[in-house]
Amino acid sequence: GQNIDQPTEMTATEGAIVQINCTYQTSGFNGLFWYQQHAGEAPTFLSYNVLDGLEEKGRFSSFLSRSKGYSYLLLKELQMKDSASYLCAPMDSNYQLIWGAGTKLIIKP
């Protein structure tokens, strides 16, 4: 079956760095997306990885290891506005996104 595993909740301090891990099992693989979702709002696109390695985009970076079925999202210089849920979503062989339940990130001053 298809399965996504990511921590339910994480807490970090403003200005710090946090890494959100995601492990996945899918039928085929066509890349992995990370989305951010603030409470009561729609998910918004953060990153897409299809090859192994690190993709850096400002304060956010995303890493992929296809052989391990593993990805992480790295957030640097945390700001209060980064308090949100982060959704890991690999794309299967049918180009369907398989969504994790998300990691709720709480930022404390």
Partner 1 sequence: NAGVTQTPKFRVLKTGQSMTLLCAQDMNHEYMYWYRQDPGMGLRLIHYSVGEGTTAKGEVPDGYNVSRLKKQNFLLGLESAAPSQTSVYFCASSLAGEAETQYFGPGTRLLVL
Name the residues that contact partner 1, by CB under 8 A. Answer: 4, 30-31, 33, 41-45, 48, 50, 87, 89, 91, 95-102
Q: Give min distance, CB of 52 to partner 1, in A.
A: 16
How far is C-alpha 77 from the chain's CA centre?
A: 17
Tracing tokens 């009561």 back to the chain, one arrives at 40
Query: Among residues 49 and 63, whose Cβ is nearest to partner 1?
Result: 49
Helices (H) and strands (E) in the chain, counts: 0, 10
Q: Give min distance, CB of 98 to partner 1, in A.
A: 8
Q: Give min distance, CB of 63 to partner 1, in A.
A: 18
Query: Among residues 70 and 99, whose Cβ is nearest to partner 1?
Result: 99
Query: Among residues 18 and 87, whose Cβ is nearest to partner 1?
Result: 87
Query: Among residues 9 and 14, whose Cβ is nearest to partner 1?
Result: 9
SS3 3: strand
Phi, psi dihedrals of residue 89, rounded to the nearest 5° = -145, 95
Q: Are 61 and 16 in contact (CB under 8 A)?
A: no
